[in-house]
């Protein structure tokens, strides 16, 4: 993830963070490569001098498209017709609600790291459109769309970053993350964000 965001003084008990960045695929082939914007809001509470709890919500979206040229359509008894082309689109958005357990240093530049867990909700709109259908496949031509809501499914992450106070109430924050999501298989993503944390207490 790469971007900009908002953060509070590390010694304040409660801070709010607004951040943006980028998320990329980290799952080995044949998984699809992608890079998409990521948006994050978090509430952070200092529990001990070096221990911080960080609750967050983040959002990102990605659409996959597969185009195929002229090809036969097969049924149980063999070829049942032919189309001149087809397009499949899987348009997905993801909301993640999570909790991070961080250890953070003190000083002018504060370094932090830790682990987190959360739950992901996936919203998918899948569409398929075929053109140039043979007479036996006229019902197949046109656009067909389906909607799916999936989750919640678990996510685990490791993360680290730096925080630089610019006033007694505002700090600039940057972090990098590696996440593992499990649902009908395993998906791994890497991200980087930057933002601002505001002290509220």
pLDDT digits (tens, 9 = 90+) for 115-130: 999 999 999 999 988 8
What is the pLDDT averaged over residues 156-166? Answer: 95
On the question of pLDDT at 1 being above 60, the answer is no
On the question of pLDDT at 41 being above 80, the answer is yes
Q: Report if residue 44 sits inside a domain.
A: yes
Instruction: Tell me the residue ranges of DSSP E strands in the chain.
Output: 5-6, 14-25, 35-46, 51-68, 71-75, 78-83, 85-104, 110-131, 142-165, 170-182, 186-199
Listing DSSP states for 123-162 in one string gives EEEEEEEEES--GGGTTTSEEEEEEEEEEEEEEEEEEEEE
Minimal CA–CA distance to 182: which of 160, 153, 146?
153
Contact 189, 26 (CB under 8 A): yes
Q: Report if residue 58 sits inside a domain.
A: yes
Q: Report if residue 167 sits inside a domain.
A: yes
What is the pLDDT averaged over residues 132-154? Answer: 86
Residue 29's φ and ψ, nearest 5 degrees, are: -55, 150
CATH of the domain at 11: 2.40.160.20
Q: Report if residue 195 sits inside a domain.
A: yes
Contact 108, 126 (CB under 8 A): no
Q: Report if residue 43 sits inside a domain.
A: yes
Q: Report if residue 140 sits inside a domain.
A: no
Tokens of 122: 């996936």
Q: Report if residue 96 sits inside a domain.
A: yes
Residue 185: pLDDT band (50, 70, 90) is: low
Alpha helices in the chain, H assignment, sequence order: none
pLDDT for position 183: 66
User: How far is CA 105 from its chain centroid?
Assistant: 28
Q: Report if residue 146 sits inside a domain.
A: no
CB atoms under 10 Å from CB of 195, counted, come to: 25
pLDDT digits (tens, 9 = 90+) for 68-120: 888 888 878 888 888 888 899 999 999 999 999 999 998 889 999 999 999 99
On the question of pLDDT at 19 being above 60, the answer is yes
Q: Structural domain tally of the chain?
A: 1
In this predicted model, which residue has the larger pLDDT, 143 or 147? 147
| Ranges 13-17, 83-87, 93-97, 187-191: which has the least confidence | 83-87
Tell me which residue range forms the domain holding 36: 5-65+92-127+154-199
In this predicted model, which residue has the larger pLDDT, 16 or 186? 16
């Amino acid at each position: 993830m790469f971007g900009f965001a908002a953060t509070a003084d590390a010694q304040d008990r409660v801070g709010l963070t607004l951040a943006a960045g980028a998320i990329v695929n980290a799952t080995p082939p044949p998984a699809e490569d992608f890079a998409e914007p990521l948006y994050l809001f978090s509430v952070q509470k200092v529990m001990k001098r070096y221990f911080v709890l960080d609750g967050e919500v983040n959002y990102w979206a990605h659409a996959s498209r597969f185009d195929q040229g002229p090809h036969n359509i097969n049924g149980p008894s063999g070829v049942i017709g032919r189309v001149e082309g087809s397009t499949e689109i899987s348009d997905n958005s993801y909301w993640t609600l999570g909790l991070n357990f961080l250890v953070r240093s003190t000083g002018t530049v504060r370094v932090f790291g830790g682990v987190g867990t959360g739950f992901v909700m996936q919203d998918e709109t899948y569409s398929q459109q075929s053109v140039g259908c043979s007479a036996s496949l006229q019902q197949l031509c046109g656009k067909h769309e389906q909607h799916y809501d999936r989750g919640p499914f678990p996510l685990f992450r490791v993360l680290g970053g730096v925080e630089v106070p610019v006033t007694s109430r505002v700090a600039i924050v940057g972090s990098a993350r590696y996440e593992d999501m499990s649902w009908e298989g395993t998906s791994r993503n890497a991200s980087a964000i930057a933002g601002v944390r505001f002290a509220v207490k």
